[in-house]
Amino acid sequence: MATVELHINTRKVNIDVDPDMPLLWAIRDFVGLTGTKYGCGIGQCGACTVHLDGNAIRSCSVPVSVVGSQKITTIEGLSEKGDHPLQLAWQQEDVPQCGYCQAGQIMNAAALLRGNARPTDSEITTAMSGNLCRCGTYQRIHKAIKTASTMNSKS
Interface with another protein by CB under 8 A: which residues?
1, 17-18, 21-22, 25, 28-30, 32-42, 44-45, 47, 74-76, 78, 82, 86-87, 90-92, 94-103, 106, 120-122, 124-126, 128-142
DSSP 45: S
**Beta carbon of residue 51, minimum distance to another protein (angstroms, whole number):** 13
| Distance separating alpha carbons of residues 51 and 70, to the nearest angstrom | 9
Q: At what angle do helices 138-149 and 85-92 cross, to 10 degrees?
A: 130
Give a three-class secondary structure readout of 6-36.
EEECCEEEEEEECCCCEHHHHHHHHHCCCCC
* Interface map 59-98 toward ligand FES (x if CB under 6 A): -x-----------------------------------xxx
Q: Which residues bind ligand FES (CB under 6 A)?
A: 38-41, 43-48, 58, 60, 96-102, 133-135, 137
